[in-house]
Structures are given as structure tokens and as C-alpha cells.
Amino acid sequence: MRRHASHISRTRLTVAIGAALAAALAATAPVAADQLGDGHTPDTPSARSAGSADPVEVEYFTGPGSHPRRTEVPASSPLTGKERSTIKNDGDVLPIVEAGASDTKVDVVFIGDGYTASQQEDFHADVRTKWKEMAAVQPYAEYEDLFNVWAVDAHSQQSGVSGDPTSDVRKNTALNSAFFCDGIERLLCVDTNKVEAYASKAADPDLVIVLGNSTKYGGAGYNAISSPSGYDGIGTASSDHPDSDQVAVHETGHSFGKLADEYWYDESTYSGPEPGESNLTKLSAADMAAQKTKWHRWLGQDSPDGGKVGAYEGGGYHGHGLNRPTEDSIMRTLGREFNLPGREAMIAGFHQHAPVLTGVTPTDTKVSGSERLRVAASSHARVRWYLDGREVRSSRGASSVSPGSLGVPADGRAHTVTARATDPGKAVRDPELRKLMSGSLSWQVTR
């Protein structure tokens, strides 16, 4: 029996996201701004008002294969003491994927809304499905070993979310999730203060995704939210729509890759300074090549989202004055892939949270000759060991070594043992970003 109150059957998505991307690529054509169908209506759920608080900018998506849009919604009100007390005693944190210690991995935290206390197992199953879809998209697929995934339970009084299927539907849920937010049907808003309270239950959240218990297409990106828990922004998505993972993946382009949106609203002309984001520029391809800046290293290369990397006019919400790397990446249209400069930025962003090399054996204490030295490296990197600056070739690739096997002499003196690892992947070409692709650890060892 389906757990959503307004439905009696359930079909789980089990098809890998590669097939979904192929279908989207075949079926999707650019959508004009006057065809987006925002669905504004005056009597709809919205985020809780915070009175004089500044509004919050959100990104939303009107349908699979569409270009995103942006709007502002009222800020969430501060939590009351009663609300905080309820959240404190509510739910658990469940590991879905454990790849390593939280301070050495990218920690993705899913929070469910519209799931009752008896539906938490359904929420956990939805998290596994949604992560499987996200992890099938490049460069997630190649770097899946860098991620921990957590499910934070939030017990709602009612099943489902407000605004599903119509604007007059109201649900009593833990995070106040609501479609028709600000009168926009596909905009799925949440109470961001409640999200923060639940997200803080996890040890070290780097990315927060709220799954609304719904089959309705929609989602949102709160990219300007600054969290005390350390994550950068919040993404929302419906749990049971087959394309909702694309909403989440696009939002991670902002949070991990620090990528700009490559779509535009109108034929306006940008007149500001050179953008700081790596995937927008005022320069032509020839100027980038001459000045050796932005994505000049990728110019002329075939890109996974189709076509060749160049300078395509339009992006950053302006039809003119800014150029993007490719015709139609996922930062412009849902259902596409990251282009080559986008993949580079994403991988570097992953490594901001998940170093290539981490120490299992602490480096801040002297090590005796009887102890083993242990490290953990990403699956792409190969570890090399050095004794007093000289490589011990016989130990290449080892994650655990003994001082004796490295040839540390038993002379009672301290010797420096160093482990180094580098991700050799060719998807990152920028020398500054490649610094994130290497790691080194050293110990003082005495035998």
C-alpha cells in the first residue's frame, strides 16, 4: 500500500540515472521564458513570514528538462523554545553509506519531510534510491568513495507535503514543506531554521537535501543560506518523482563546484565586472586563450554534455555580455551533464571536503619501531612512502607499513617517514585546483 495519503499505489524508480539522462537529452528542447508556466496563484502555501527579515533567494525548476528560475520568498521565523525542544527529542541519524571518518569525507545529509513516525523506513529507502540516482551522475560516479551519506529522521504528524496535488492541500509536517510556495507550483519551500536544527544532529554536514514525501515534480535551491553547521545551502526535492534527483545535482553545482547558472531570463546585457565563478566570462574564446584564463585549457575539447568547449553567449541570467563554456550543460538545463570545466570544479570541490590522503596513525606524536603506520587514500590515488626523503619503492600502494619494512634503521635516532598520494585524474587541469589533488603526511619514527 502506498504511504502517501492521496495515492493507493507506488512505483519505485530502479532505472539507473544514465537512462534517465539519455531520455531527457532526446526529449528536451530549450524552453522560452514565456513558456515556463510558473503557475502563480494568490491562495497558496508559502514559507513562514519573518516580519521584517530580509527575503531569501531560491532557485526552482518548472519541469524536467526546463531551465531553472529564481525568486525570493519570505525568510523562516526563528524557532520557539517548544519547537527546539521537539526537534531535539525527535528522530535519529542513520548511516546510509560510510566511506570513512566525517572529517575526511564529503558528508551528504538527507532529511525527510512528510514522513510519519511509522514511515521512517520508507524514508530510508527513498534516501538509498535518491543517492543511487545522484551517484550515477559524473563526476559523482567516479568519486563515489569520497562520500558518506546520512539520513536524519524527522517525524511529521501527517504523511505527504502541503500543495500536493493542489494548492489547497495542507499538511502538518516537521519542516513545513510546501509546493506552490510564493504562488509557484513547482517551488518546494521548507522552514530553513527547522532544517538547520535537524541537520545539526549529523556530525559534519557538507550538503543538506530535504526529501519531501511526494510524487509531484518540484524542488528548490537555497544557495544563499549560511549555516552554523557548516554546509553551504539547502536543496529540496520530491522523493518519488523520477527526475527530482536532477534538481539536487544541479544545486550541488553551486554548493560544491561554486558554479554559476548558465541560463538567462531575457535579452538583457551584462555590464558588471568579470565574474568570479569559473564557468562564466566576459571574454571571447580567443581572449581566454591569449590571456590563459578561465577555461582556456579546455577550449576545443569535446564535452560530455555535447559539442565542443568554447564561448557561448548567454548566462548568469543575461542573454548578452557573458559567455558560458558549452551550449547546454546541467547548469543551464536539467537532464544534461556537467561540462568539462564544470566537472573540474566539482572534483576540486569534493576534495575540499575529502582530502586525497588522510592519516589513520596520528602524525602529532613520535612513533616507535613496533607500531604500524596507516593511511587512507582515495581510490584514484596511489600511496608512495619515503624514508628521510628517499622513496621506498617496495612499499608503493601500501596503506599500512611497518618501520622495519621501510628500512628505518634501529639506531635509536628519529627518522622522518612520509606518505604521499596524488589523484592522477586528467579531469582537473588547473594547477591551483590540482593542489587539492595531492596530499602528504609525515611521522617521526624511532627504532
Which of 7-11, 51-55, 243-247, 314-318 bottoms out in mean pLDDT, i.e. has the lowest?
7-11
Q: What is the pLDDT of residue 434?
A: 93
User: What does the block give as the cell for 43?
Assistant: 491562495
DSSP β-ladder status, 317-324 and 312-315: antiparallel
For residue 34, is pLDDT > 90?
A: no
Distance separating alpha carbons of residues 237 and 246, to the nearest angstrom: 9
Calculate the CA 384 to chain-centre distance: 31
C-alpha cell at position 160: 505527504
The answer to whether residue 69 scores a pLDDT higher than 90 is no
Determine the average pLDDT of the residues in 362-377.
90
CATH class of 357-446: mainly beta
Cell 565586472 belongs to 273
Question: Is the pLDDT at 46 greater than 80, yes or no?
Answer: no
Q: What is the mean pLDDT of the chain?
A: 86
Q: With contact defined as beta carbons under 8 Å apart, do 288 and 299 qualify? A: yes
d(CA 368, CA 323): 57
Predicted local distance difference test score (pLDDT) of residue 164: 97
- The architecture of the domain spanning 17-255 is 3-Layer(aba) Sandwich (3.40)
Does the structure show a pLDDT above 90 at 18?
no
pLDDT tens-place string over residues 167-179: 999 999 999 999 9
Match 527529542 to its residue by C-alpha cell.
89
Domain residue extents for the chain: 17-255, 264-353, 357-446
pLDDT at position 270, please? 97
Average pLDDT over residues 97-126: 95
Res. 209: pLDDT tops 50: yes
Q: What is the pLDDT, as a whole number, of residue 389? A: 97
Torsions phi, psi for 138 (to 5 deg)? -75, 145
**Which residues, 6+ apart, have CB-to-CB distance to 371 below 8 Å?**
361, 403
pLDDT mean over 100-118: 95
Closest CA to 188 of 172, 164, 159: 164
Domains 17-255 and 357-446 share a fold: no
pLDDT (average), residues 25-52: 33
Grid-cell match 566539482, residue found: 346
| Separation CA 366–CA 368 (nearest Å) | 7
pLDDT score at 42: 30
End-to-end CA, the chain: 66
Q: What is the DSSP letter of 68?
A: P
pLDDT at residue 232, as a whole number: 79
Tens digits of residue pLDDT in 214-227: 999 999 999 867 67
More confident residue, 364 or 387: 387
Q: What is the DSSP string of 93-113?
A: EEEEE--S-GGGSEEEEEEEE
Q: pLDDT tens digit string along 310-357?
A: 999 999 999 999 999 999 999 999 889 999 999 999 999 999 999 999
pLDDT of residue 63 exceeding 90, the answer is no
Q: How buried is 33 (Cβ within 10 angstroms: 0-12 exposed, 13-18 middle, 19+ buried)? A: middle
Say what the pTM is: 0.84
pLDDT at 53: 65
Q: What is the largest CA-CA distance in the chain?
A: 82
- Judge whether 378 and 438 are in contact, CB under 8 Å: no
